[in-house]
Amino acid sequence: MTITARVVQQFDFQHESEFMELEKKFEELESRRSDFPKGGRRMQPIAGPEWKNTLIWECEFPSLDAAQQFLDFCATDSQHDELFRQQLPFFKDVRVEFYRNL
């Protein structure tokens, strides 16, 4: 059974362009480094319970432990942390969700 990890980030709509520009840098970091998972995707709501000023990143992992290890890795990786600190002032809310894939 695989697990989907989803990070839901609501940001200040007045800073959407800056937030999205940093998100492109996260995507570049993930694609150039082999220690980041491949297959992660980013989505922005059009209709649904989330506001438009929300970015959703999700990726499938082989287990809950693997998903948690990746989140722990992000918290300690210097390149990821540098981008995160630049993006942090734009956050309004962040949550992490885990889903069992049936």
pTM (whole model) above 0.85 = yes
Pick the CATH number of 3-100 from 1.20.150.20, 3.30.565.10, 2.60.40.10, 3.30.70.100: 3.30.70.100
Distance from C-alpha of 45 to C-alpha of 71, rounded to nearest angstrom: 23
What pLDDT digit, counting tens, does each position of 42-90 carry? 999 999 999 999 999 999 999 999 999 999 999 999 999 999 999 999 9
pLDDT band for 8, please (50, 70, 90 cuts): very high
**What residue segments make up the domains of the chain, in order of their start?**
3-100
Distance from C-alpha of 71 to C-alpha of 89, rounded to nearest angstrom: 20
